[in-house]
Chains A and B, each alone.
Chain A
């Protein structure tokens, strides 16, 4: 690690002020991505603005047609939350499948979504469920949020405060874990809202993406058989020692069918 300062603001206003004071400040949430990055000297912030003591940044609120999760809510809390388990079971399952107990008790939804790791699980839920990312400046649709590898629509210094997930009629999430990291080698979220179906794929490409061909097919008939092989071309997918792009393309189809089966119970 390089040297850095640390600030512990307690309100969102203080966060802004602390960030303004810092030469090159960076938010610290659960630290499950940022701390390893610092340890490897891959980042050199002048100050860390810890979000842990900020009032009102944590918690889960269930409404009639949506569930709102504050940015600092830990993965373990999402996995165990009764409202989420009954209304959006695939979301609880997704959170419960992240990393290990240590990671789930430290890592936060805000940190994960802001980081937008191409292999992270949450982006599939945010995009697959068409959630709204709420920041200290504005509200951003999932479809406009994830802009590229480790890249989002967040402005410099913009803080995610909560994420609001609409409650679907049916939902499934299947993750094929990377054998080394157990992040998603490929993860597919399928969600049905009345006449619309959303399919989001993480792990397979540089950034989470939707699959309109599958969404159309599933809108016509919400059954695993609707998903034909080869709907996602391999060309633009990730290719690494863990999986070729062809294999990832194949897995997208298999996992999507299984996600539909899960959604159908």
Chain B
């Protein structure tokens, strides 16, 4: 049964094939991986934000029955392992000098620098024994002054975290032509300035991090099952750089992963620690983080404070934009952490709007907090928040209409392709059309009535929009490998990593569509260094863009080989053979051969022309994209605010996304909805908060507020499909992150619109009820 033939599988709302497994409890997550005779590991974490480790006494713990191994920083030092490296693409200061990279060892050596930092590894027969042992380890800390906020960290006299980084600065950065920006400012009628906070959040995947390590003393080979989104690159780092065991000796696998959102991209200490333990003990070792540890030790995201300035004329024409950001890095560099506030936040400055000049600068300081690394969007949500908040704020200050301001300044389609002032290659799109469609679908006619109804209840209603410009990222190369198995199944291995977004469906859908195969015959493999040679994993909305393109490319190569096999059978030239709907045929003849037939023929040399070997249809190919794609779209949002309590209800949500070609609308919309949920969470409630002493106050779900189903509005999601990109084989632009890029500014804009009669034009995220109430109260008092 060839299910997906139309448009080669593109445009089919194939339902997710993985859901039955996930929803009926048959997913295999990291805690479902169990190796015979495995031991258990737990990590003793620092209770101090900044302290010297005077001594660690493990004698009582080590003597406890069932304790197998305890590793401290001193032990780690003596192993000679290297620190975890950082791979940020931005590596030099503005003046050309090298960024400061402090040694990130898997265990704290001599000093701890954030609450939650691993101090010792305990391995025992059971988790409970690990806990007992941890209670018996005595660490003598001598507290040092600490600093958690990035703005404080760069002040004179702030506690210094690393000797190599004076003033706590890891890196600074600039992009754009400051002279052009300054001239634009000088020429403009107005310059409007707003300081804004992009709050610190954490990915909070449903499944906490965890790993199982095994070591085979006979072969010297390691296996690591890891709840990770980046199997190949992290194998290379762990095996080649840190442990120096050679990447060929580490088989790295991710089982089903219950969410990641970037928080599982990086190389973390714990998997490295248990690989060491497995080798020491010649036994498998399992470690599973609990939820509280996740808050302390999963890399956090965002955390930028910015001064944003827009220059514009009396008629509303945008002239210049200047953003100065300070982005918190935490105590170490993270795997690519320092890229987010620098390069990552710079590229989409100015959004899809025309400017004479844009200039972006950033400082990335260390603080005594958990390291930061990418979180869904990693820099683009920050960039989008900058431009879309300053537009609304400027509109409010100057008595202009924020919708008209956007309308007036959007880059017209005639201007494309173009290079943005930030160096982005914007190849295609129709921003005005996407924007107008967003307004059209958002039921503006009914708005006045809804305002009236709100007022009758004593509520304030507001409407806000955001017109975001995004860019993809992550590894530019991807492999897709197809193996036709003897049992009739088709194994498809792709180096991308799905942590729930549905690659198992969409990649199979593409392969089935291209080749005219049945979905149910496709067996999907991912996140396994044995399944594909290379793998870019997860990140930068690359799954379809690069992975789907690789599947398409491999499919095409299979068809070409199939044509040769068919040509051999029909005794014609291969270029006479066509392929359609799963059949090879020679036009004008009755020669046809199904793809199945070709597959069945491929192992017998008699069926093959001389230049083909048996197994020739089993093909792996690597697709490499050139320039990153530019998703864009409009978000519109309606909120109702209770001015007495400050409570916000998001009451309507409309989105038009230009993701290029839509391969599977259900999957795309799932991504958008999930992204909006995370954007709404950031805008209204999520906040990682450290107190003055560096303790994490929001260390559990009792204090870290996450949105729930009933916080979510009804969402209307539409797609603009008339501008597929030519940067990849599918015309797709990337859908994974856009939701949380557009949602925070749209929601905050809507709230400020609701509160404009009080003179409230900005509140920093998260817009908690208390902050909203205070803003109204203070505005009333002064106004």
Partners in one complex: yes
- Best-buried of A181, A241, A243, A250 by chain B (most CB within 10 Å): A241
* Chain B: number of interface residues, binned into ranges: 20 to 34
Interface residues of A, count at CB 8 A: 16
- Which residues of chain A have C-beta atoms less than 8 A from B697's C-beta? 241
Task: Return A120 CB to nearest CB of chain B, in Å.
Answer: 13
A41 to B702, CA, bound (A): 17
Given contacts A243-B770, A247-B773, A250-B773, contact A180 B645 (CB under 8 A): no
Question: In chain A, what residue has the closest Cβ to B702?
Answer: A181
- Which residues of chain A have C-beta atoms less than 8 A from B128's C-beta? 1
Given contacts A1-B128, A180-B703, contact A241 B773 (CB under 8 A): no
Chain B contacts with A in 683-737, Cβ cutoff 8 A: 685, 689, 697-698, 701-706
- Which residues of chain A have C-beta atoms less than 8 A from B607's C-beta? none
Chain A contacts with B in 202-250, Cβ cutoff 8 A: 241-244, 247, 250
Instruction: Confirm or deny: B644 has a beta carbon within 8 angstroms of a beta carbon on chain A.
Output: yes
Instruction: Confirm or deny: B88 has a beta carbon within 8 angstroms of a beta carbon on chain A.
Output: no
A179 touches B705 (CB 8 A): yes
Task: Return B641 CB to nearest CB of chain A, in Å.
Answer: 14
- Which residues of chain A have C-beta atoms less than 8 A from B289's C-beta? none
- Best-buried of A178, A242, A254 by chain B (most CB within 10 Å): A242
B702 touches A180 (CB 8 A): yes
B704 touches A254 (CB 8 A): no
B770 touches A180 (CB 8 A): no
Question: In chain A, what residue has the closest Cβ to B697?
Answer: A241
- Best-buried of A1, A179, A243, A244 by chain B (most CB within 10 Å): A179
Instruction: Confirm or deny: B489 has a beta carbon within 8 angstroms of a beta carbon on chain A.
Output: no
B703 touches A241 (CB 8 A): yes
Instruction: Confirm or deny: A251 has a beta carbon within 8 angstroms of a beta carbon on chain B.
Output: yes
A254 touches B701 (CB 8 A): no
Chain B contacts with A in 566-587, Cβ cutoff 8 A: none
Instruction: Confirm or deny: B774 has a beta carbon within 8 angstroms of a beta carbon on chain A.
Output: yes
A250 to B702, CA, bound (A): 23
Given contacts A241-B689, A251-B645, contact A41 B131 (CB under 8 A): yes
- Which residues of chain A have C-beta atoms less than 8 A from B774's C-beta? 247
Instruction: Confirm or deny: B768 has a beta carbon within 8 angstroms of a beta carbon on chain A.
Output: yes
- Which residues of chain B have C-beta atoms less than 8 A from A251's C-beta? 645
Task: Return A223 CB to nearest CB of chain B, in Å.
Answer: 16
B703 touches A244 (CB 8 A): no
Task: Return A147 CB to nearest CB of chain B, in Å.
Answer: 24
B768 touches A254 (CB 8 A): no
Task: Return A116 CB to nearest CB of chain B, in Å.
Answer: 17
A179 touches B685 (CB 8 A): yes
- Which residues of chain A have C-beta atoms less than 8 A from B644's C-beta? 254
- Which residues of chain B have C-beta atoms less than 8 A from A242's C-beta? 703, 768, 770
Given contacts A1-B128, A41-B131, contact A247 B703 (CB under 8 A): no
- Which residues of chain A have C-beta atoms less than 8 A from B773's C-beta? 247, 250
Interface 1/0s, chain B 269-281, versus A by CB < 8 A?
0000000000000
Task: Return B380 CB to nearest CB of chain A, in Å.
Answer: 26
B131 touches A180 (CB 8 A): no
- Which residues of chain B have C-beta atoms less than 8 A from A180's C-beta? 685, 698, 701-706
Question: In chain A, what residue has the closest Cβ to B700?
Answer: A180
B768 touches A179 (CB 8 A): yes
- Best-buried of A41, A180, A181, A251 by chain B (most CB within 10 Å): A180
Task: Return A224 CB to nearest CB of chain B, in Å.
Answer: 12
Task: Return B528 CB to nearest CB of chain A, in Å.
Answer: 34
A148 to B89, CA, bound (A): 56
Task: Return B199 CB to nearest CB of chain A, in Å.
Answer: 13
- Which residues of chain B have C-beta atoms less than 8 A from A40's C-beta? 292
A221 to B586, CA, bound (A): 93
Q: Kindly identify which residue among A1, A181, A247, A254 contacts B770, using a CB–CB cutoff of 8 Å.
A: A247
A254 to B642, CA, bound (A): 11
A181 to B689, CA, bound (A): 16
A40 to B702, CA, bound (A): 13
Task: Return A140 CB to nearest CB of chain B, in Å.
Answer: 29
A92 to B647, CA, bound (A): 24
Question: In chain B, what residue has the closest Cβ to A181?
Answer: B702
Interface 1/0s, chain B 744-783, versus A by CB < 8 A?
0000000000000000000000001110011000000000
Question: In chain B, what residue has the closest Cβ to A119?
Answer: B702
Question: In chain A, what residue has the closest Cβ to B706?
Answer: A180
Task: Return B702 CB to nearest CB of chain A, in Å.
Answer: 5
Q: Kindly identify which residue among B292, B645, B685, B698 contacts A254, using a CB–CB cutoff of 8 Å.
A: B645
Given contacts A241-B698, A244-B770, contact A176 B645 (CB under 8 A): yes
- Which residues of chain A have C-beta atoms less than 8 A from B645's C-beta? 176, 251, 254
Task: Return B642 CB to nearest CB of chain A, in Å.
Answer: 9
- Which residues of chain B have C-beta atoms less than 8 A from A1's C-beta? 128
Task: Return B608 CB to nearest CB of chain A, in Å.
Answer: 60
Task: Return A126 CB to nearest CB of chain B, in Å.
Answer: 23
A57 to B706, CA, bound (A): 36
Task: Return B776 CB to nearest CB of chain A, in Å.
Answer: 11
- Which residues of chain B have C-beta atoms less than 8 A from A179's C-beta? 685, 705, 768-769
- Which residues of chain A have C-beta atoms less than 8 A from B705's C-beta? 178-180
Question: In chain B, what residue has the closest Cβ to A253?
Answer: B644
Question: In chain A, what residue has the closest Cβ to B698?
Answer: A241
A181 to B703, CA, bound (A): 7
A69 to B706, CA, bound (A): 34
Question: In chain B, what residue has the closest Cβ to A251?
Answer: B645
Question: In chain B, what residue has the closest Cβ to A185?
Answer: B769
A176 to B644, CA, bound (A): 12
A250 to B774, CA, bound (A): 11
Interface 1/0s, chain B 627-653, versus A by CB < 8 A?
000000000000000001101000000
Chain A contacts with B in 39-54, Cβ cutoff 8 A: 40-41
A181 to B705, CA, bound (A): 7
Task: Return B23 CB to nearest CB of chain A, in Å.
Answer: 17
Task: Return B590 CB to nearest CB of chain A, in Å.
Answer: 63
Task: Return A256 CB to nearest CB of chain B, in Å.
Answer: 12
- Which residues of chain A have C-beta atoms less than 8 A from B701's C-beta? 180-181
Chain A contacts with B in 134-156, Cβ cutoff 8 A: none
A206 to B739, CA, bound (A): 40
- Best-buried of B697, B701, B702 by chain A (most CB within 10 Å): B702
A243 to B703, CA, bound (A): 12
Task: Return B717 CB to nearest CB of chain A, in Å.
Answer: 26
A247 to B772, CA, bound (A): 11
A242 to B701, CA, bound (A): 13
Question: In chain B, what residue has the closest Cβ to A243?
Answer: B770
Question: In chain A, what residue has the closest Cβ to B704?
Answer: A180
A251 to B769, CA, bound (A): 11
A135 to B698, CA, bound (A): 38
Chain B contacts with A in 505-522, Cβ cutoff 8 A: none
Question: In chain A, what residue has the closest Cβ to B135?
Answer: A41
Interface 1/0s, chain A 172-196, versus B by CB < 8 A?
0000101111000000000000000
A161 to B703, CA, bound (A): 33
Task: Return A240 CB to nearest CB of chain B, in Å.
Answer: 8
Task: Return A96 CB to nearest CB of chain B, in Å.
Answer: 14
- Which residues of chain B have C-beta atoms less than 8 A from A181's C-beta? 701-703
Task: Return A234 CB to nearest CB of chain B, in Å.
Answer: 13
Task: Return B293 CB to nearest CB of chain A, in Å.
Answer: 12
A40 to B647, CA, bound (A): 33
- Which residues of chain B have C-beta atoms less than 8 A from A41's C-beta? 131
- Which residues of chain A have C-beta atoms less than 8 A from B770's C-beta? 242-244, 247
Task: Return B234 CB to nearest CB of chain A, in Å.
Answer: 31
Interface 1/0s, chain A 1-24, versus B by CB < 8 A?
100000000000000000000000
- Show 17 residue pairs from A and B whose CB-CB distance is below 8 angstroms, ordered by the A residue: A41-B131, A179-B768, A180-B698, A180-B701, A180-B703, A180-B704, A180-B705, A180-B706, A241-B697, A241-B703, A242-B768, A243-B770, A247-B769, A247-B774, A251-B645, A254-B644, A254-B645
By a beta-carbon cutoff of 8 Å, the part of chain B in contact with chain A is 128, 131, 292, 644-645, 647, 685, 689, 697-698, 701-706, 768-770, 773-774
In the A-B complex, the 4 residue pairs with the smallest Cβ-Cβ separation, listed nearest first, are: A180-B705, A179-B705, A247-B770, A179-B685
**Known pairs A179-B769, A181-B702. 9 more at Cβ < 8 A?**
A40-B292, A178-B705, A179-B685, A179-B705, A180-B698, A180-B706, A241-B697, A241-B698, A244-B770
